[in-house]
């Protein structure tokens, strides 16, 4: 059951470091997920927090007898929490990807078409841009224009 739980916790190319250290009559058990891939510092804070939660270890210090009785349950609870956070991360990443698709679609539909090569004048709304109205009232666009 323990190794099946480990297998369920792992995604492709991920690993779990499982360390046991003896301290007197007790054992220290560390289960440390090692996530594949990374999230850069520019990722939304929610994504960074979910990713950090997935990297949190399970650390237990107790006797071998208690570990024999309770560790499988503790590991299963830990794996359940990992699965929930992984689902939250996947959902958040899906929302980000969908928002990116929508933003690209909006840019495509709102991009003005390039002029015919003749001089065109863009009107300036004098109520919204009083300073621009004082300075000529319009912007001339030519073939040499950057706009």
pLDDT in tens, 93-135: 788 888 888 888 888 877 665 555 555 554 545 454 444 444 4
pLDDT in tens, 4-31: 888 877 776 778 888 999 999 999 999 9
pLDDT of the residue at 89: 77
Orientation angle between helical segments 2-9 and 64-110, nearest 10 degrees: 20
Is the distance from CB of 145 to CB of 131 less than 8 angstroms? no
């Amino acid at each position: 059951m323990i190794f099946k739980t480990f297998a369920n916790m792992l995604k492709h190319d991920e690993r779990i470091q499982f360390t046991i250290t003896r301290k007197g009559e007790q054992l220290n058990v560390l289960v440390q997920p090692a996530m594949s891939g990374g999230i850069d510092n520019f990722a939304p804070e929610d994504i960074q927090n979910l990713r950090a939660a997935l990297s949190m270890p399970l650390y237990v210090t107790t006797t071998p007898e208690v570990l024999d009785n309770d560790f499988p349950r503790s590991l299963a609870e830990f794996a359940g929490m990992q699965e929930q956070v992984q689902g939250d991360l996947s959902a958040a990443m899906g929302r980000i990807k969908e928002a990116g698709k929508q933003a690209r679609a909006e840019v495509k539909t709102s991009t003005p078409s390039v002029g015919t090569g003749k001089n065109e004048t863009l009107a300036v709304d004098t109520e919204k841009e009083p300073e621009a109205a004082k300075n000529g009232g319009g912007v001339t666009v030519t073939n040499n224009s950057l706009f």
